[in-house]
């Protein structure tokens, strides 16, 4: 006779297993909560540290002699561009007349005309003041557009890589192989000599350079831990580029903007020298005034062209002082 043994398990065992499972879930929840709290604290600490670094950099920048000198010069020219009527003793095309009503064309610098007069009798000092306006309208806008376009392209190329990077890199190399002034003249001849076209042309000229710079920085940033963490969290590429990488390359963009403004000033002056000033041929423009009067230097009448040239030089040097100061502080 076979003995049947009935195995009866502990009736509390399944209940104990459920309790054990609940304990594990609760423990995991506590761990996750601690991890989230630690991550939040870490993020807050990192944000506070970045804020402190930015404040320290601003403090260093405001104490930098080059930055201070550059800003004073730039602010002077900005005031000239905004309020030329209040600064210039004569009008833009107003002929200097003495008390007896006589004119003094090609007069040397004197108390009557601080920078002398040109061949027509216009006050050179007043034309230099009025000439700041077209340069300071075109150059910053063109530089800003080039930095925006270069940042977008550089972020896309540096982060996505692959075929997008390959195709755009070839296009950029092709554009960089064409001399800047030659490309500008080709565009202006085809599309016209207007201020919006000049701004768009200069922005087009500088976008490839900005793109290449931003791309190289983004490639390096994409290898860092914070980008890897964002990928592991499942963040979208657009979010990573805009919210994670872009804030960490703003220093490079600021430096690029200031540098491009300096180059844009030279480009605007060069185009005006060649006759592309998007305005009246008699309007005050530094490059145009140099072009109209540089031939007088041979007859020892240097002031109508030298003073506008010095204005271009002082503004470009000031911009470069600011750019060098920002770059120096950002690397400290």
pLDDT in tens, 235-293: 888 888 888 888 888 889 999 999 999 999 999 999 999 988 876 778 889 999 999 88
| pLDDT of residue 69 exceeding 90 | yes
What lies within 8 Å, CB to CB, of 303 at 6+ separation is 108, 109, 115, 116, 124
Give me the helices (H) in the chain, please. 13-62, 65-82, 84-87, 124-130, 132-160, 162-176, 180-191, 195-221, 225-232, 237-239, 250-273, 286-293, 303-330
- Which single residue is written with the structure tokens 């554009």? 175
User: Residue 46 — very low, low, confident or very high, per pLDDT cuts 50/70/90?
Assistant: low
Cβ-contact 210, 147 below 8 angstroms: yes
- Of 62, 222, 231, nearest to 158 by C-alpha is 222
Average pLDDT value over all residues in the chain: 83
- Which single residue is written with the structure tokens 């005006």? 272
Beta bridge partners of 97: 103
Burial of 144 (0-12, 13-18, 19+ CB in 10 A): middle
Q: How far apart are CA 260 and CA 319, in angstroms?
A: 9
| pLDDT of residue 319 exceeding 60 | yes
The pair of three-digit structure tokens given for residue 180, joined into one six-digit string: 């800047």
> pLDDT tens, 165-203?
899 999 999 888 888 888 899 999 899 888 999 999 999
For Cα atoms 308, 85, 269, give the angle at the middle one, nearest 5 degrees.
Answer: 25
Cβ-contact 227, 221 below 8 angstroms: yes
Give the 3-state secondary structure of residue 107. coil
- Of 69, 135, 93, 70, nearest to 268 by C-alpha is 135
The pair of three-digit structure tokens given for residue 98, joined into one six-digit string: 């003495």
Sign of CA dihedral 134, 135, 136, 139: positive
User: Residue 33 — very low, low, confident or very high, per pLDDT cuts 50/70/90?
Assistant: very low
- Of 253, 261, 252, 267, nearest to 317 by C-alpha is 261
Question: Domain 65-330 - what CATH class?
Answer: mainly alpha
Full-model pTM: 0.79
């Amino acid at each position: 006779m076979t003995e049947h043994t009935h195995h009866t398990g502990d009736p509390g065992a399944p209940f104990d297993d459920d309790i054990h499972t609940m304990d594990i879930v609760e423990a995991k929840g506590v761990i996750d909560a601690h991890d989230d709290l630690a991550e939040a604290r870490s993020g807050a600490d990192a944000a506070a540290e970045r804020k402190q670094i930015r404040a320290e950099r601003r403090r260093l920048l405001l104490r930098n002699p080059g930055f201070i000198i550059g800003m004073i010069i730039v602010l002077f020219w900005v005031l000239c561009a905004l309020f030329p009527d209040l600064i210039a003793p004569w009008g833009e095309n107003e002929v200097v007349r003495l008390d007896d009503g006589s004119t003094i064309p090609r007069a040397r610098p004197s108390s009557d005309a601080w920078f002398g007069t040109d061949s027509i009798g216009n006050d050179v000092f007043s034309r230099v003041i009025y000439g700041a306006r077209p340069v300071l309208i075109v150059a910053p806008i063109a530089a800003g557009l080039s930095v925006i376009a270069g940042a977008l392209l550089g972020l896309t190329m540096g982060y996505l890589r692959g075929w997008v990077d390959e195709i755009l890199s070839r296009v950029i190399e092709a554009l960089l192989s064409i001399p800047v002034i030659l490309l500008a003249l080709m565009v202006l001849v085809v599309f016209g000599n207007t201020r919006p076209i000049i701004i768009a042309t200069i922005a087009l000229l500088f976008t490839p350079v900005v793109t290449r710079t931003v791309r190289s920085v983004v490639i390096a940033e994409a290898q860092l831990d914070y980008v890897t963490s964002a990928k592991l969290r499942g963040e979208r590429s657009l979010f990573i580029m805009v919210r994670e990488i872009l804030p960490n390359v703003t220093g490079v963009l600021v430096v690029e903007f200031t540098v491009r403004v300096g180059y844009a000033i030279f480009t605007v002056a060069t185009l005006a020298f060649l006759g592309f000033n998007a305005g009246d041929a008699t309007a005050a423009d530094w490059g145009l005034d140099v072009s109209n009067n540089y031939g007088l230097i041979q007859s020892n009448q240097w002031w109508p062209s030298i003073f506008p040239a010095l204005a271009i030089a002082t503004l470009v040097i000031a911009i470069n002082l600011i750019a060098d100061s920002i770059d120096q502080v950002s690397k400290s």
